[in-house]
């Protein structure tokens, strides 16, 4: 059940990451059309044909979206091969950076909404929301499915303790029983010795 939920979560990660990238490309094309029709408007020129105010922010968003499509597919294949084993350190690091990158992308997208025109701000709201959803999916994957295998050592240790206690208790009963029988035998021997020395001529 836990393995199936983990696989479904990773499939959702891929779906939402691909949807975010597709929407980003659509918004870029829409911004380019607005730019060519309104080249004299300074506020539209600030878009740089994208939803980012700078070229570096635009490259960061594309790197995050395209990179984590590939990473999510690799992690999904890794889960099919590893199945119920715990996450490796590499998987934990990639999921942690996914949470950080998509949260940063969502904050960057929402921070420029007021500087955009109404026609473009709709794309900004949707992309920002999808970025936060992707960050949430990576966080859920990291916190809830990091340990897939059950702690078998703890169960075996408890069983061993119970077996040890039972064996000790059984040995104690045997020792107590042996001591009682030994005492009874000694008492019988003493009475037998006393009976052999009784005088019968009286």
pLDDT score of 13 more than 60: yes
Q: Convert the pLDDT of each residue in 96-148 to its tens digit.
A: 999 999 999 999 888 887 777 666 778 888 888 999 999 999 999 888 887 87
Euclidean distance between CA atoms 166 and 162, whole angstroms? 6
- Reported confidence tier of residue 44, pLDDT bands at 50, 70, 90: very low
Sign of the alpha-carbon torsion through 47, 52, 56, 59: negative
- Reported confidence tier of residue 57, pLDDT bands at 50, 70, 90: confident
Query: What is the average pLDDT value for the chain, to the nearest integer?
Result: 75
Whether the Cβ atoms of residue 133 and residue 13 lie closer than 8 Å to each other: no
- State how far the alpha carbon of 94 is from the alpha carbons of 60, 68, 147, in Å: 16, 9, 16
For the entire predicted model, the pTM comes to 0.66
Q: Convert the pLDDT of each residue in 140-196 to its tens digit.
A: 988 888 787 766 554 445 555 556 666 665 666 666 566 555 555 555 455 544 444
In this predicted structure, what is the pLDDT of residue 114?
77
HSE value, Cβ hemisphere, 13 Å, CA-based, for 198: 9
Domain coordinates in residue numbering, the chain: 2-149, 152-202
């Amino acid at each position: 059940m836990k393995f199936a939920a983990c696989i479904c979560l990773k499939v959702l990660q891929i779906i939402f990451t691909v949807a975010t990238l597709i929407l980003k490309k659509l918004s870029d094309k829409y911004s380019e059309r607005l730019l060519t029709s309104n080249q004299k408007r300074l506020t539209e020129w600030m878009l740089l044909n994208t939803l980012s105010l700078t070229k570096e922010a635009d490259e960061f968003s594309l790197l995050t979206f395209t990179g984590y499509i590939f990473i999510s597919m690799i992690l999904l294949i890794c889960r099919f091969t590893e199945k119920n084993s715990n996450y490796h350190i590499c998987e934990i690091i990639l999921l942690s950076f996914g949470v950080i990158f998509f949260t940063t992308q969502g904050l960057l997208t929402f921070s420029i909404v007021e500087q955009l025109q109404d026609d473009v701000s709709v794309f900004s709201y949707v992309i920002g929301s999808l970025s936060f959803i992707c960050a949430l999916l990576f966080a859920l994957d990291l916190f809830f499915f990091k340990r897939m295998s059950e702690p078998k050592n703890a169960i075996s240790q408890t069983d061993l303790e119970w077996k040890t206690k039972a064996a000790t208790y059984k040995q104690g009963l045997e020792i107590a029983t042996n001591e009682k029988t030994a005492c009874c035998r000694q008492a019988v021997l003493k009475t037998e010795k006393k009976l052999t020395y009784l005088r019968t001529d009286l």
